[in-house]
Amino acid sequence: MAPLQRWIRRGRGAVTTPRQYPPDFDGPTVALIERVRSYTMTSPERLWALIHAVDHLVRHEIRGDYVECGVWRGGSSMAAALALIARQDTARTLHLYDTFEGMTAPTAYDRSLGGDSAETLLASEARSPDSPTWCVADEADVRRNLASTGYPGSRIRFVRGPVEQTLPDPALGPIALLRLDTDWYASTRHELDHLYPLLVPGGVLIIDDYGHWEGARRAVDEYLSRHQLPLFLQRIDYTGRMAIKPAV
């Protein structure tokens, strides 16, 4: 199968041209998306949701930091940083968690929407920055990309390593926006166990891979069931989901 066909099949890329946006996308948001799209595999719809989630948090003065697990080249974090700069809110810390070496080992739960096991997909590709499944990114490159936004460097934390080793993190306080994008069951479950309790009421949860990866979906569903959380997951696109943490 050709590389582009594999990319589409696995849902890892947004196959659109700069002018192929929904008619309700406003100009400033489109410009911001265009600014970061070379650094992300996230769709324009998911970027739109992230940017407007930041706007919602600022407008309603919802306190807390930005936490992202699964950063790749930093495109989504860049979008959040640029959105915060545009709204003159640069006091929040961006906490960015990634192995910066590619994906960790998957479990048997980790299968794509097309039925392919993550283990098979990883084995079929070289562990390189060109692989849409391995998601390898150089930390120095990601640091440069975030620095290019102009967001205060003292407010950006890069936390290297598998989340199973870096969480819990004593440096974390209240979280306003929690974005989870590590794809697999084990990592997503661990992130929810340690980070969702820190998400403030009214804070935003974004699950990037709920629709595409069975493991991520299972981890989320199990967490909500185990804690009896009445959380409504709003569909962003075929894979992304978003929710606002209720007050009770």
User: What are the sequence ranges of the domains in the chain?
Assistant: 3-244
d(CA 134, CA 25): 31
d(CA 192, CA 207): 10
Domain 3-244 has CATH 3.40.190.10: no
d(CA 208, CA 108): 20
Cα–Cα nearest to 36, from 82, 69, 67? 82
Spacing of C-alpha 23 from chain mean position: 24
What is the mean pLDDT of the segment spanning 55-73?
Answer: 98
Give the pLDDT confidence of 169-216 residue by residue, as tens digits.
999 999 999 999 999 999 999 999 999 999 999 999 999 999 999 999
Tokens matching residue 102: 């590619």
Residue 14 pLDDT level (bands cut at 50, 70, 90): very low
Would you say residue 2 has pLDDT above 80?
Answer: no
pLDDT, position 133:
63
Give the pLDDT confidence of 94-120 residue by residue, as tens digits.
999 999 987 788 889 999 998 888 878
